[in-house]
Amino acid sequence: MINDAGGAGFKSKTQYKSGLFTLRIKMSDKKTDGMITAFYLISDDQDARVNHDELDFEFIGTQGKLQTNIFANDMGGREQVFQLPFDPSEDFHTYQILYTPQRIVFFVDNIPIRTFENNTNRGINFPIKSLWSEASLWISDAVGWAGSVEWGYAPFVVSFQDFNISGCPAGSNCLPSNDFSPWTRHKLASKNLNLMRNFRKKYMTYDYCRSEENKIRYPECA
């Protein structure tokens, strides 16, 4: 719960080199902009002003605007934004990040909504560092990019449950679970691709690769 400018959060006890990271979230039923609910993986060098690895789910406000972002030893900027097809304040929904050496996949209620392939052989950055899993709730009033908080509706309560990690801790010799095998193959199954394409076609409202400037800045957009 936040009722003044500030923030709070929690994180995993260890870092992971791969895994499936799951959290169920129920958003505040008080409608406002300016409040950021985040579920993300991040490397040790967490200063946003320096190059680091990070994989983000970020709710921009409380009305179902969900942004994903990827930092790959750089400053990020790979935003893709979705307007969810449900009210995230009515019930808990499941958000997952799969982090493997082959690809990254973001899921909403078991539907893949975004993938990022390991194409380092083509000169495309890909996260390779061990990452913490974290969740936080903070206010963007000082930043302004997410809008202003309607403080007259405070307090804002966001609920979390079933924080779960199935993965390989940093420094271990384990390999990604066989449960990940449909997502670690060279090509994704047609069923998974179709689910993702349909979701993106209906609900994606912004894609960094559609910017002419980004097609030059990010080689994966070319």
Q: How far apart are CA 111 and CA 126, in angstroms?
A: 22
Residue 134 within any structural domain of the chain: yes
Alpha-carbon distances of 145 from 35, 60, 69, rounded to whole Å: 11, 9, 15
CA angle 168, 173, 175 (to 5 degrees): 55
Residue 3: its pLDDT value, please? Answer: 41
Task: Give catalytic status of residue 58 as yes or no.
Answer: yes
Residue 201 within any structural domain of the chain: yes
Residue 114: its pLDDT value, please? Answer: 97
Residue 2 within any structural domain of the chain: no
Residue of 11, 74, 9 lying closest to 48 (CA atoms): 74
- Whether the model clears a pTM of 0.85, i.e. scores above it, the answer is yes
Residue 128 within any structural domain of the chain: yes
Domain that holds residue 178: 7-221
Residue 21: its pLDDT value, please? Answer: 96
The CATH number of whichever domain residue 65 belongs to comes to 2.60.120.200
Q: Can you list the residues of the chain whose pLDDT is less than 70?
A: 1-7, 45-49, 140-144, 176-179, 182, 186, 215
Residue 38 within any structural domain of the chain: yes
Residue 49: its pLDDT value, please? Answer: 64
Residue 173: its pLDDT value, please? Answer: 87
Residue 1: its pLDDT value, please? Answer: 43
Residue 184 within any structural domain of the chain: yes
Task: Give catalytic status of residue 213 as yes or no.
Answer: no
Indicate which residue of 58, 117, 212, 220 is catalytic: 58
What phi and psi values does residue 70 have, to the nearest 5 degrees?
-135, 130
Task: State the total domains in the chain.
Answer: 1
Q: Are 54 and 42 in contact (CB under 8 A)?
A: yes
Residue 142: its pLDDT value, please? Answer: 52
Q: Is the peptide bond before 155 cis (omega within 30 degrees of 0)?
A: yes
The H or E element spanning position 160 is strand 159-169
Residue 23 within any structural domain of the chain: yes
Residue 1 within any structural domain of the chain: no
Residue 144: its pLDDT value, please? Answer: 62
